[in-house]
A and B are shown apart, each in its own frame.
Chain A
Amino acid sequence: MRWMTRPGIHIDRTGSAWLIRRFIDPDATFGFVTDRADVPADTVPFDMRGVEFSHHGEDCTFETLLRRHDLLDPVLWRIAAIVHEADLEDDRYDAPEAAGLDAVLRGLSMTCDDAQVIELGTAIFDGLYAYFHRALLAGKDPA
């Protein structure tokens, strides 16, 4: 499936692209359109105003994707907390990692194009997943 989102991606779209590729649609490809009206019919839009996989209520897109696909993995929800706080900063979660990851991705978007950010973001989020997975198993932050 081809997934479409707005260009100039930041943490919610980068994290969502990783989530889609790893947990929802392994064959996912990504494209970028500014206007919702330009989303081709056979593609799935995400993180755009007024579409299903987007912000809903208090949720950011990453959280919406988790809910709509019944993904209950606590490691994914731990990452969701970071994405949410970096994106919305409403103190819904305690996620001190948010500020750091926010800076990393803002920096990447200055030196890379969106497709590259998605690729690099995949590596970053794979690492985060491994880290919080180990933390969950150990019951404490890994050394």
Chain B
Amino acid sequence: MTAHPQGVTMVAGTAGWWVLLAYRVPRVPSTPRIAIWRKLRSLGVAQIGDGLVALPEDARTREQLEWVAADVDAAGGSATLWRAEMLSARDEQLLVTQLQQARAEEYRSLLTEAEQLGADPVTDRARTLTRLRRELRRIRRRDYFPPPEEELARYAVESLAGRTGQPIRVEGAPA
């Protein structure tokens, strides 16, 4: 099996359609504004400009951005959703790389934590392992163009599981 089929495709610059959210939220009150920002961050959006974010389009990303748009409406702001295609393959590649690097950084910090945990006594690991697995699942959920770090992080976390005597999860399951 190819390690990163999506990644390989993306290098060719064929992300296809993107879904864009253009939004404005009032500065005050800040609570809904921050909640919207957190939600966008958890979705792993590409920030195209001020109040303009993008995700590669699929049924889930479109729906998630629709709900953010509804949150923006509820916060007294305004939001519009767009479906877009980038005219320059090179620009698109830059955007994809930007997203990949953001995720790679998250995988690297997870990897570091998993390696540190590996030095701890086996009995202390179980709880942290559960947290690391959840964190890994979260990152993979917002990882649209998996970088090589994805496999490294997954391997590091799962080898901890191996050493605590828990069964190793089946690899290659889609996020």
Contact = CB atoms under 8 A, between A and B. Distances in A.
Determine if chain A interacts with chain B: yes
Interface in B19-76: 59-60, 63, 66-67, 69-70, 73-74
B146 to A, nearest CB: 18
A39 B66 CA distance: 17
A54 B71 CA distance: 12
Nearest to B64: A88
A57 B73 CA distance: 11
B59 A49 contact: no
Interface in A116-136: none
Given A8-B59, A55-B67, A50 B73 contact: yes
Interface in A80-104: 89, 99
B35 to A, nearest CB: 9
Contacts of A54: 70
B163 interface: no
B141 interface: yes
Interface in A1-38: 6, 8, 10
Contacts of A50: 70, 73
A49 B141 contact: no
Interface of B: 59-60, 63, 66-67, 69-70, 73-74, 137-138, 141
Interface of A: 6, 8, 10, 49-50, 54-57, 89, 99
Interface of A is mostly: loop
B147 to A, nearest CB: 22
Contacts of B67: 49, 55
Nearest to B62: A8
5 contacts: A8-B59, A10-B59, A10-B60, A10-B63, A99-B137
Nearest to B32: A57
A54 B66 CA distance: 12
A55 B70 CA distance: 8
A72 B92 CA distance: 49
A55 B74 CA distance: 11
A58 to B, nearest CB: 9
Nearest to B81: A49
Nearest to B138: A89
Contacts of A89: 138, 141
Which residue, of A6, A49, A57, has the highest number of chain B Cβ atoms within 10 A?
Answer: A49
Contact of B69 (A6, A8, A49): A49
Contacts of A6: 63
B10 to A, nearest CB: 22
Nearest to A49: B70
A102 to B, nearest CB: 10
